[in-house]
Amino acid sequence: MTAALQLENVTSGYGSAIAVRSVSLSVEPGEILAIVGKNGMGKSSLLKTAMGFLAVRDGQVRVAGQDVTRLPPHTRRDLALAYAPQEKTIFQDLTVQENLRLALPGDREFAARFERVAHWFPVLGQRFHQRAGTLSGGEQKMLIVARGMLTGPKIFLLDEVAEGLQPSVVARLGEALARMRADTGTALLVVEQHIPFVMSLADRFAILKAGEIVETGQAAADNAAVIEEHMRI
Ligand SMILES: Nc1ncnc2c1ncn2[C@@H]1O[C@H](COP(=O)(O)OP(=O)(O)OP(=O)(O)O)[C@@H](O)[C@H]1O
Ligand SMILES: [Mg+2]
């Protein structure tokens, strides 16, 4: 089976600093792989490198078998790769609808596509004409995820979507992501520090430490404590 996303010995960084060190991983179609690690370990840099926002210094990135190492982010998006960044990248003064429209300018299928996305995030339908800045933190995260899903990705990179949310909202977001994967078969590469959340969502995990993968395994809700212990070392 061809991996939805494959990184082979990928190294990247900022100036003379290395942020991602010879990382190899693959995400199979429909699979959820969690990348966990403490602050500053290179999780966001890894996703930025996969998406093409941070240049690869060494190694290769493949999307559905195609070498995209030297391709810009928009071309990777056309190959059904989507990215939900850690930063709040929505326009606060635009409505939910306008924010989503920007992801698909001129798309005639917008209404049908949105209907699909609203199935996982019904609150966005209720807030469709509301300014995005008036949404709660959790709703803004849902908007960022919805924006990525609208493009119909085969592989979706998610950077700490549960960050700063209260437990009930995290639980709802987890359920929505699980349903989204089940309905569409979209593979997810999920960066998280919220270990119980991601261990119940993901199929496999990898621990990132100083830019390197130091441990991998099967994810399960009941090994969350073990993973948290590993992360501390
Ligand atoms: N734009 C940048 N310029 C220079 N160095 C950067 C830049 N962004 C990140 N770094 C450095 O790269 C390393 C990895 O940062 P990165 O943001 O990938 O970590 P992270 O695991 O996502 O952290 P967090 O959990 O806090 O989001 C850190 O040492 C960080 O200081
Ligand atoms: Mg980060």
pLDDT in tens, 70-91: 999 999 999 999 999 998 899 9
What is the distance in A from the centroid of ligand 2 to the CA of 175? 23
Alpha helices in 56-201 (DSSP H): 73-78, 96-103, 110-120, 122-126, 137-150, 167-184, 195-201
Closest ligand relative to 43 C-alpha? 1
**Cα–Cα distance between 203 and 217 in angstroms, integer?**
9
Residues, the chain, total? 233
Task: Supply the pLDDT for residue 122.
Answer: 94
What band does 220 get if pLDDT is binned at 50, 70 and 90? confident
Q: Which ligand is nearest to the CA of 159?
A: 2
* pLDDT of 138: 92
Percent of the chain clearing pLDDT 70 (strictly above):
100
Task: Tell whether ligand 1 has an atom less than 6 A from the beta carbon of residue 138.
Answer: no
CB 175 within 8 A of CB 148: no
Neighbours of ion ligand 2 (CB under 5 A): 43-44, 86
Confirm or reject: Cβ of 224 under 6 Å from ligand 1.
no
How far is ligand 1, taken at its centre, from the CA of residue 44, in Å?
A: 7
Per-residue pLDDT of 45-68, as tens digits, reads 999 999 999 999 999 999 999 999
How far is the centre of ligand 1, averaged over its atoms, from the C-alpha of 164 (Å)? 18
CATH of 5-89+154-232, one of 3.90.580.10, 3.40.50.2000, 3.40.50.300, 2.40.160.10: 3.40.50.300
Binning pLDDT at 50, 70 and 90, where does residue 233 land?
low
